[in-house]
Amino acid sequence: MSGERRPLADRPLTEPHPSRLSPEHPDRARILAAHDAALAAGEAGYLDPESGLFVLSAGFLARRGTCCGRGCRHCPYVDDPQSG
């Protein structure tokens, strides 16, 4: 999928696909709060509250304009578990 231009998935940028962040994930609320803060501030991403790793925001990924195919948590292009 690298570099492939596709339309954004039909869901808000605030809502990751369940295949990327399960609704049952124990830190889901903290992850989404950190992601929402990054989106609101127009930042490229946030520090994951569990791992401390930098995670790209859906806004940044959407502005990039293409799916890299690396399985990003907040990929705004994935619309089914097999894509993105």
CA nearest neighbour of 32 among 53, 13, 19: 13
Residue 43 pLDDT greater than 80, yes or no: yes
Which token pair is 53?
Answer: 């790793």
Q: Give the phi and the psi of residue 56 in degrees, each rounded to 5.
A: -70, 140
pTM passes above 0.85:
yes
Residue 40 pLDDT greater than 60, yes or no: yes
**pLDDT confidence tier of residue 2, bands split at 50, 70 and 90:** low
Distance CA 63, CA 25 (A): 27
Ramachandran bin of 29, using left for φ above 0, alpha for ψ from -120 to 50, beta for the remaining angles: alpha
Task: Give 3-13 pLDDT, tens digit per residue.
Answer: 667 799 999 99
Domain parsing of the chain, residue ranges: 14-77
Residue 80 pLDDT greater than 90, yes or no: no
Task: Give 49-68 pLDDT, tens digit per residue.
Answer: 999 999 999 999 999 999 99
pLDDT at 83: 47
